[in-house]
Amino acid sequence: MRKERNRAIEDDIIPVEQTIASLADSNQPLLSSRLAKLSDLNPEQLRLLDNVLEGIEVKRRRQIISRLVELAEDNVGLNFDAIFKHRLKDQDEEVCSIAIEGLWKNEETSLIEPLINLMELRRPK
């Protein structure tokens, strides 16, 4: 119990930039307490996250985005919409699909065009 409390305290003081950088290390577990720090990123932090996600293996990107969707469903106070919107442009179709799942409650009309474009790109020829 004490170990868990110490880890929670450590997670609170770790800067979000360090959390983002740690995502690239597939040996590091995806802790919910650290992933929650990715809620409501500012534009600079979002760019940093995009750069990190572009450089890591697809399996890890899928895991990260899936976990963010789960966290957002479990805690309405967390908002990863900016991340999900950026992942709509991911090279991996599954990452895009997971990002769409994460945007299920978003009613912004600005999503209509990107979603239509995705449908057209992914339509069988």
> Which amino acid makes up residue 59?
K
Look at residue 75 in the predicted model and tell me its pLDDT: 95
Tokens of 24: 């690239």
Averaged over successive runs of 10 residues, the pLDDT of the chain (125 residues) comes to 47 81 93 95 96 96 98 95 95 94 84 77 66
Look at residue 12 in the predicted model and tell me its pLDDT: 59
Residue 29 and residue 11 in contact, taking contact as beta carbons nearer than 8 Å: no
Helix extents (H) in the chain: 2-13, 16-22, 32-35, 43-54, 58-74, 81-87, 93-102, 112-122
Look at residue 48 in the predicted model and tell me its pLDDT: 96
**pTM (global) more than 0.85:** no
Residue 34 and residue 22 in contact, taking contact as beta carbons nearer than 8 Å: yes
